[in-house]
Amino acid sequence: MELSDLVALRKDLHAHPELRFEEFRTSDIVADVLTSLGYRPSRGLAKTGVVASLLGKQAGPSIILRADMDALPIEERGNHAHISRHYGRMHACGHDGHTAMLLGAAAALAVNPPDCGTVHFVFQPGEEGGAGAKVMVDEGLLEHFPAGRVFGMHNWPGLPIGSMATRTGAIMAGGWRFLIDIKGKGSHAAQPHLGRDALTVGAAFVQEAQLLVSRRSNPLTAAVLSICTFHAGTTDNILPETATLRGTIRSLDVQELESLKEGMTRLAAGLALAHDVTIKVQFHQPYPVTVNTADETALALTAMRQAVGGQGMVVPDMTPSMASEDFGFLLEKRPGALVMLGNGTSAPLHAPDYDFDDTIIPHGIAYWVALAHTCLRNNQDI
C-alpha cells in the first residue's frame, strides 16, 4: 500500500468514528483491505474484532501485533477536512492511526515475510473502557491464534515525531472506574432541615476523597483519584434527593488500588452515618497495570533502533503513564511489550482538538516490520 492510501484510509476512519464494540464499518474496511492483500481475515471475536495471520518462510514461533480501533464519546473541536461526521464521537486517542499503521505493516510483511514463524495481526475493538482485549482473550484469541509473545504500540503526544519510547516493567497504570449513588431526602430549598441534601454530601465526598491520595497514600507510590461527573438536582429551589458521582482510580501498584477502593468504601460509610443518607459505591471495568517483560522490551528496543534510529530518538526508560491500557490483559497472559510512538506537539490524548499526525505512519510501519523480522528470524540470539 502507498502512504497516500494509508493517509486517506486514516482520515476516512477519523471522519467516521465508532464507539466500543460498534466498529462495524471500521472492521469491514479492515477486513476488505486485508483480503485485498491476500490474507484470509477471521472475524467475530469481541463482536467486531478482526485477525489475520501471515506465515513466515518456514515454521517457527508466533507473535501478536495488536492495534485498537474504537473511538471516544467526545465532541470534536477542529476545522480540518476529516473532522468527525458524527456528533458526540471522535478519534481522540489515535486508534484510527494505529489501525492504519498495522494495515501498512500487514501490506509490507506480505511482500517481505519473516524468516520463520507466524505473525498474527490483531485489530481489537473496545479498548476505551470496554476491555476489548480481555473479551478477545476470553473468547479464545490465544487458542485460535497461538502466540508466544504479544506487542502493542500507542502514539504519544509530547514525544517528538520520529522518536519512540518504552521501558521494562510497569509502563501504564492499572485502574478501576467507580459509580457512587447517594440517596437522601428531598426538600424545599428554604427548609433544608426537613430534608437530607444529597448534593452537599456529594460535595463533601469529592473533597474528602482527595485526602485518600494526599494524606493516606505513600507519596512515593503514584496514585490518582479523579471524580469526573457529578449529577444532582433539577431546579434552583429544591434540594435534591439523589446525587450520582463517577470517576476513576489509577496506580502503578496493585496494592495501592486496593487501598484506594477500601478507603473510598470507608469514607462512604462514614459520610452516610454522619449525614443520615445512604451511599452505595460500585467499582467496575478494572484494567490491570501494563507491565512490559524484560526480554520482549529488549526485542522492541532493537526494532525501534532499526525503525527510527538516530541519536536520542529511542528512549529506553520512559516515565510511566498514569493512563490505563487494556493491552495489559494480553500481557497478563503472554510476555510482551507496549511501546510509544511520538505524535509531536499535538493536543493531548482524549482532548477535543486532538488529531493523529499522519507523518508518523511510516515510523509505525517500520517498527512493526522490524519487530516481526527481529522476533522471527533464524538463529535468534536476543
Residues 316-372 pLDDT 10s: 999 999 999 999 999 999 999 999 999 999 999 999 999 999 999 999 999 999 999
User: Among residues of the chain, what percentage have pLDDT more than 70?
Assistant: 99
> How many angstroms separate the CA atoms of 120 and 124, rounded?
12
- pLDDT of residue 261 exceeding 70: yes
Cα–Cα nearest to 60, from 380, 381, 382: 380
CA angle 126, 128, 131 (to 5 degrees): 55
SS3 198: helix
Confidence check: pLDDT of 140 > 90: yes
- Rounded Cα distance between 152 and 134, Å, is 14
Residue 244 has pLDDT above 50, yes or no: yes
Q: Are 332 and 146 in contact (CB under 8 A)?
A: no
Give residue 370's identity as a one-letter amino acid code.
A
Helix residue ranges per DSSP H, the chain: 3-15, 24-36, 95-111, 127-130, 132-138, 141-144, 198-214, 254-275, 294-307, 327-333, 361-375
By residue count, the chain amounts to: 382
For residue range 308-324, what is the model confidence (pLDDT) as tens digits?
987 889 999 999 999 99
Interval 18-68: pLDDT, tens: 999 999 999 999 999 999 999 999 999 999 999 999 999 899 999 999 999
Whole-structure pTM value: 0.93
Given a contact cutoff of 8 angstroms between Cβ atoms, the answer to whether 125 and 27 are in contact is yes
51's enclosing H/E stretch is strand 50-55
Sign of CA dihedral 68, 69, 73, 75: positive
